[in-house]
Structure 1
Amino acid sequence: MLFVAFGLAALALILGVLLGLVLLDLRRMTRDLTYLNGRTTNAGVTTYTALRPVRALAAAINASLIKRRQLQAAQFDQQQKVHRMLTNLTHDIKTPLTVATGYVQLLARDAAPAQQDAFRRVQHNLGSVDYYLTYLLDFNLIQEKSASLDLSDVDLSALVETALFNDYDKLTEQKINVVPHIETGLHLHSDQALLRRIVQNALSNWLKYAARTATVSLDQLDAGHIQLRFDNETDAPVQDGETLTTRFYTSDQARTQLPSNGLGLNIIHTLATTLGGTMAIKTEPGHFSLTLIFKTDKFTA
């Protein structure tokens, strides 16, 4: 009897040890999976026991992880192809569109007074197509950058100055007097392409709605933030900030002007948020203000 009792005790001890090892391995695999699900890595779950069922479970989990990564890689590659196709297609459309716009302007200049209204309508429609193609490029850029940002040291002061210089003729043609207050040597660790699109969209907003005077200010707000602000006089009806940033909002002026559909400001807000910044809009009769604040500390995408 004593021998049988001793044998049962030994068996229970062995089973207890095995059960403990299995539980430890299951806990380890759970911890590994929790870690892997939150990161991009080629690692897999591990097991330190020689028990066949546990090792088979670990192998099955790792096979599933490998298949998931392969599917994710294939999906990402397909998305990149679609983005490249959209970008190329948009550029291919914009090239003949620019040529057509130029010819219409030449024809309109020599057209009889009775034909002027028809040419203005054609120019308006061509401008609308170009407007939406530009924002299609922006949306495509946002989708491309949502996966990973191309971070580098960006001279924001020089970037804003260059954008102003590039649009100087257009702003002058519309008799908009630009007053710059740009602090030199301000840098951000950020994505230069997205910052450039933010500034370009803000200047495009001036070209559509600014009247007489516009001011751009760039300064070090405090030790950890840079502030970029665009102010302008406007003769357009004043809308509240929430309405202005609602995508596809259309104003009553859409019948006679390019549609005020919130795309530009919505894109600026999306781009600024993607870069860890904030955007605020202030409107009052005759005046519009757009303020962007970016953190100067480094961040990872």
Structure 2
Amino acid sequence: MMIILLLIIVALIGIVIFQWKGKKEQDQTIQYMHEKLQLIVNEQSNEKILVTTTNSQIQQLLIIMNALLDHQQKVQATHRKMEDSMKKMLANISHDLKTPLTVVLGYIEILQLQSSTSEEERQRLLTGVHTKTLEVLNIIHTFFDLAKLEAGDTDYPITKINVCEICRKNILSFYDMVTSMGLDISITIPETPMYALGNEEALDRVLNNLLSNAIAYGADGNVIGLTVRKDETNIYIDVWDCGKGIEEYHIDNVFERMYTLEDSRNKSFQGSGLGLTITKRLVEIMDGSIQLSSIPYKKTIFTIALKQMMY
């Protein structure tokens, strides 16, 4: 009887020791997880918490903690990217505002200091002031347009639109400018109407931006063009030029805020770096997509895809 009692006592002591060791290991694991988590958060690193354990509850906790860390790290990366973009945006806008305002200030100082200025010269200076003031207003309007688009504070109702008619109207509005610059213009728009899901005002702005870019940055190729085509589901609009083009390593960045085409194309043209970002947002509002392909000095094509309507 005593032997059985001793065996029971030994077994109980063994269970207690086993539980104590298990709890101690669990406490050590939880302490390590706490310290590691605190270190990752403080240093804002991209590490994960790695622990070897057979405890199913700790395993589940690790999965949740690492998922939260992954989400937080992605949020931080997005925030840093937006912060860098905002800094560049402010720098670019400051530069773009400073340039015309400096010219305006110069014109005004001439008008103030040179009382003997002829009427013809005064009119020339005042015209310069007017032009540069409009340039400043355009920059400010562009900035707020993007802010409204990204905040969803715009009204572009989606309806059935005649893509061929809208494209024809927009390319013809640039015809005189293009021909006066000595450029050739290639227009391939079917006579048969093609209907897509979209918004006429939004598509007008998209085409205006893309055609303006083609003229500004691709004029050295001596030709710009617009092509409308379709497949079974989509209507495609290609706006293209044969100018300097865009190097492959720039292509993924051209639709980002504050990326400026003069970084990769024509440095004689300045811009706030918002035009193509606005273009992409407008296309996305129409549930479409926009792509860029470029072979320098051969062909640079911006392709808009809109959902075709068959009825």
Residue 182 of structure 2 is aligned with which of 166, 175, 183? 175
Amino acid at match of 2:216: K
1:290 maps to 2:298:
no
Following the alignment from structure 1 to structure 2, what is the Cα–Cα distance between the partners of residues 204 and 122?
Answer: 23
Q: Distance in 1 between matches of 2:281 and 2:268?
A: 25
- Letter aligned with residue 189 of structure 1: L
Change (3 A) 1:148 1:131: closer
**Aligned residue identity for 1:224:** T
> What is the aligned partner in structure 2 of residue 202 from structure 1?
210
User: How far does residue 126 in structure 1 lie from its aligned partner after superposition?
Assistant: 5.3
Give the equivalent residue in structure 1 for 2:68. none
Q: Tell me, in whole angstroms, the C-alpha distance in 1 between the residues paired with 2:258 and 2:129.
A: 23
Question: CA 1:122–1:213 in structure 2 vs 1: closer, same or farther (change >3 Å)?
Answer: farther
- Look up the match of 2:238: 229
- 1:157 matched to 2:169: no
8 A contact 2:224–2:240 mirrored in 1 = yes
Decide whether aligned partners of structure 1 residues 296 and 273 sit closer, same or farther in structure 2, where only a CA change above 3 A counts. same
Is the alpha carbon distance of 1:149 and 1:291 closer, same or farther for their aligned partners in structure 2, counting shifts above 3 Å? same
2-structure distance, mates of 1:271, 1:137 = 14
Structure 1 residue 175: deviation in Å?
A: 2.3
CA contact (8 A) 1:124 1:257 kept: no
Deviations 1:125-177 (A, max 9, x none): 55752552452464366368656542332111011111111122222232221
Structure number with the bigger relative contact order (C-alpha 8 A, sep ≥ 6) is 2
User: What does the per-residue CA deviation read over 1:167-199, in whole Å, with 9 as the maximum and x for residues that have no partner?
Assistant: 222222322211011123011232211111111
Matched position secondary structure for 2:242: strand
**Aligned residue number for residue 52 of structure 2:** none
8 A contact 1:127–1:258 mirrored in 2: no
Task: Evaluate the alpha carbon distance shift between residue 129 and residue 172 of structure 1 in structure 2; reply closer, same or farther with a 3 A threshold.
Answer: farther
- Label 1:236 to 1:293 Cα distance change in 2 as closer, same or farther (>3 A): closer
* Contact residue 219 and residue 227 of structure 1 kept, 8 A: yes
Percent of aligned pairs with the same amino acid: 18
Q: Aligned partners of 1:236, 1:261: CA distance in 2, in Å? A: 19
- Which residue identity does 1:228 align to in structure 2? I
Question: CA 1:276 to 1:204, structure 2 compared with 1: closer, same or farther past 3 Å?
Answer: same
Counterparts of 1:202-281 in structure 2 under 5 Å?
Answer: 202-211=210-219, 212-220=222-230, 222-235=231-244, 238=247, 240-250=250-260, 251=262, 257-281=268-292
Deviations 1:64-96 (A, max 9, x none): xxxxxxxxxxxxxxxxxxxxxxxxxxxxxxxxx
1:232 to partner: Cα distance: 0.1
| Structure 2 residue corresponding to 1:135, chosen from 129, 142, 148 | 142
Deviation at 1:256, TM superposition (A): 6.5
- Which amino acid letter does the alignment assign opposite residue 248 of structure 1? M
Count of matched residue positions in the alignment of Structure 1 and Structure 2: 188
Match of residue 94 from structure 2: none
Point out where structure 2 has 5 or more consecutive residues left out of the alignment. Answer: 1-100, 108-116
Gaps of 5+ in 1: 1-96
Larger Rg: 2
Name the CA distance, whole Å, in 1 between partners of 2:179 and 2:140: 24
Structure 1 segments, 4+ long, off by >6 Å, are 121-124, 253-256
Q: Hey, what's the Cα distance between the residues in 2 that align with 1:264 and 1:187?
A: 26
Find the aligned partners of 1:229 and 1:129 in 2 and give their Cα distance: 31
Inter-CA distance 254–160: structure 2 relative to 1 (3 Å threshold): closer
Equivalent position to 1:186, from 185, 190, 194: 194
- Residues 246 and 300 in structure 2, CA contact (< 8 A), matched pair in contact too: no
| C-alpha spacing 1:235/1:223, structure 2 compared with 1 (3 Å) | closer
Q: C-alpha root-mean-square deviation of aligned residues, in Å?
A: 4.1
Q: Is the 8 A contact 2:198 2:306 kept in 1?
A: no
The alpha carbon displacement at 1:260 in A equals 4.2
Helix, strand or coil for the counterpart of 1:158? helix
